[in-house]
Amino acid sequence: MLKIEIAIEQDSLSVDADRLRRAIEAVLGDAGIEESELSIAVVDDPTIHDLNRRFLAHDYPTDVLSFLLERDGSRLDGEVVVSADTATREAARLGWPAGDELLLYVVHGTLHLVGYDDVTDELRATMRAAERKYLTALGLRLPEGSAAAVAPAADETLHP
């Protein structure tokens, strides 16, 4: 059973929790996760800044933080924290809805939990392809200039 808790801890952006849940379920399902306890928190910049400083020693707000608590075969426990403020700013810059940008952050954070990474160009290309896959499946078209809209490498796969 997939248990997904979504906490909206900010007031600046309306959040479609059902759409977030559908995206998370798709990522988890494709990764073979049959059981999970996953919490998603949609917060503001001061909150994510504090978490980023406390847990990663980075003294700035960020878009998304992922915390893998446990992974054992087809079971995964974790947390994803996303910033509505950052999503709103980036969406305005890119010219697409803030809710779509926030969804990208949730997908990105969930992909990290299931094993994707973006520390090298090759891994980043694979992760971006996966982001596009899930966003496209939800009917989104990524705006020009979005990191996830970057064209994939010819040999990329969708598996970490």
Number of Cβ within 10 Å of residue 22's Cβ equals 14
3-state helix, strand, coil in the chain (%, to 5): 45, 20, 35
CA angle, corner 143, sides to 137 and 149, nearest 5? 65
List beta partners, residue 7: 41
Residue 115's contacts (CB-CB under 8 Å, 6 or more residues apart) are 31, 160
Asked if residues 70 and 38 have their Cβ atoms less than 8 Å apart, the reply is no
The HSE-up count of residue 149 (CA atoms within 13 Å, CB side) is 11
Q: Note the Cα 144 to chain centre separation in Å.
A: 19
pTM of the entire structure?
A: 0.90
The β-bridge relationship of strands 35-43 and 64-72 is: unpaired
pLDDT tens-digit map of 42-52 = 999 999 999 99
- Of the pLDDT bands very low, low, confident and very high (cuts 50, 70, 90), residue 41 is very high
- Of the pLDDT bands very low, low, confident and very high (cuts 50, 70, 90), residue 33 is very high
pLDDT tens-digit map of 72-118 = 999 999 999 999 999 999 999 999 999 999 999 999 999 999 999 98
CATH architecture for residues 2-116: 3-Layer(aba) Sandwich (3.40)
Segments making up each domain of the chain, as ranges:
2-116
